């Protein structure tokens, strides 16, 4: 299912560039930046490796509470289909970044608004990168889903790509959710909006644990993957972009200062 996300967003990027290749944030830029992204580990310094180590250590520490948290959550299933739980799941679904990307891309093409184009482009780019990494990690780790009752230390590395029961870590929904929230937060000028943008992502992590689809440590790892991937994309653009002033992460209130 998540392979469709990468393909759909890639096609969106191609279509966008064919219509307005003279603008920034084109498919050709995406191609160049993708090569840069893949080469990043070879360029990491001590701080980067320390960050990776901190995420790994944090994931391990959180995993120590996986079973107690699951036991506590399973005591009350009355909110399984409640609005917050369902909304959290939807925020992390594969089609959410496609819808947002399409909306921002269409608006930018109609209005020639580069601020909106930047947000749409970053949503598509970061979602593809994070989604691809998530897929590879899920396959390599092969962690058993909690609902199988095999415990949080049961792994089937490199099992069938179609076996979703062994694709618990990292949480794909949490990855997508934190990609979206990080991009919207970073592109917002208001401190309040920056904070509020992360609420849907946090709810997504809670939703995945509550619906027994993931261990808590799965959502922690997914959140870190989404956050750091989106941060890399935005930082990369801010280092080379012309000045763009964005007053909000929502199209009708974006302003560009040349």
With a threshold of 0.95, does the pTM exceed it? Answer: no
Q: What is the pLDDT of residue 171?
A: 97
Check residue 254 and give its pLDDT.
35
Encoded tokens for 215: 């261990």
Which pLDDT score is estimated for 15?
A: 42
Residue 152 falls inside a structural domain: yes
Task: Flag whether 70 is in a domain.
Answer: yes
Q: Tell whether 90 is covered by a domain.
A: yes
Four-point Cα dihedral 10, 16, 20, 23, nearest 10: -60
Spatial distance between the Cα atoms of 194 and 248, rounded to a whole number of angstroms: 9
Pull the structure tokens for residue 119.
């947000």
**Tens digits of residue pLDDT in 160-204:** 888 899 999 999 999 999 999 999 999 999 999 999 999 999 999
CA distance 18 to 24: 12
Residue 59 is assigned to a structural domain of this protein: yes
Looking at the structure of the chain, the number of domains it has is 1
Residue 13: the pLDDT is 47
- Write down the residue that tokens 């009355």 correspond to: 78
pLDDT value for 160: 85
Does residue 76 fall inside a structural domain? Answer: yes
Rg (CA), the chain: 19
pLDDT value of position 49: 95
Give the per-residue SS3 of the chain: CHHHHHHHHHHHHHHHHHHCCCCCCCHHHHHHHHHHHHHHHHHCCHHHHHHHHHHHHHHHHHHCCHHHHHHHHCCCCCCCCCHHHHHHHHHCCCHHHHHHHHHHHHHHHHHCCHHHHHHHHHHHHHHHHHHHHHHHHHHHHCECCHHHCCCCCCECCCCCCCCHHHCCCCCHHHHHHHHHHHHHHHCCCCHHHHHHCCHHHHHHHHHHHHCCCCCHHHHHHHHHHHHHHHHHHHHHHHHHCCCCCCCCCCHHHCCCCC
Give the range of the structural domain holding residue 173, as residue numbers without chain letter. Answer: 2-10+50-253
Instruction: Report the alpha-carbon distance of residue 117 to residue 108 in Å, rounded.
Output: 5
Q: Specify if 160 maps to a domain.
A: yes
* pLDDT of res. 162: 87
Q: What is the dihedral of CA 121, 122, 125, 130, to 10 degrees?
A: -160
Q: Is residue 39 part of a domain?
A: no
* pLDDT value of position 188: 93
Assess contact for 201 and 192: CB atoms under 8 A: no
Residues of the chain with pLDDT under 70: 1-23, 241-258
d(CA 130, CA 9): 12
Closest CA relative to residue 216, chosen from 228, 204, 232: 204
Q: Tell me which residue of 124, 134, 132, 127 sits closest to 29, measured CA to CA.
A: 124
**Does some domain include residue 19?**
no
């Amino acid at each position: 299912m998540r392979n469709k996300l990468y393909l759909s967003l890639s096609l969106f990027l191609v279509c966008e560039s064919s219509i307005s290749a003279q603008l920034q944030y084109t498919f050709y830029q995406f191609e160049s930046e993708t090569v840069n992204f893949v080469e990043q580990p070879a360029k990491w310094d001590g701080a980067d490796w320390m960050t990776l180590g901190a995420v790994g250590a944090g994931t391990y520490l959180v995993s120590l509470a996986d079973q107690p948290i699951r036991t506590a959550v399973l005591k009350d299933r009355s909110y399984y289909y409640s609005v917050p739980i369902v909304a959290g799941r939807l925020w992390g679904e594969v089609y959410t970044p496609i819808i947002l990307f399409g909306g921002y891309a269409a608006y930018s093409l109609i209005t020639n608004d580069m601020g909106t184009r930047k947000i749409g482009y970053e949503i598509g780019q970061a979602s593809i990168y994070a989604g691809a990494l998530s897929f590879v990690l899920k396959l390599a780790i092969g962690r058993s889903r909690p609902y199988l009752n095999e415990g949080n230390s049961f792994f089937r590395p490199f099992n069938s790509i179609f076996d979703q029961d062994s694709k618990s870590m990292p949480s794909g929904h949490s990855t997508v959710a934190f990609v979206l929230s990080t991009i919207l937060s970073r592109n917002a000028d208001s401190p309040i909006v920056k904070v509020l943008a992360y609420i849907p992502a946090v709810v997504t992590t809670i939703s995945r644990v509550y619906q027994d689809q993931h261990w808590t440590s799965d959502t922690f790892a997914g959140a870190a993957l989404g956050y750091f991937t989106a941060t890399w994309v935005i930082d990369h653009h801010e280092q080379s972009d012309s000045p763009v002033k964005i007053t909000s992460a929502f199209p009708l209130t974006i302003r560009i200062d040349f």
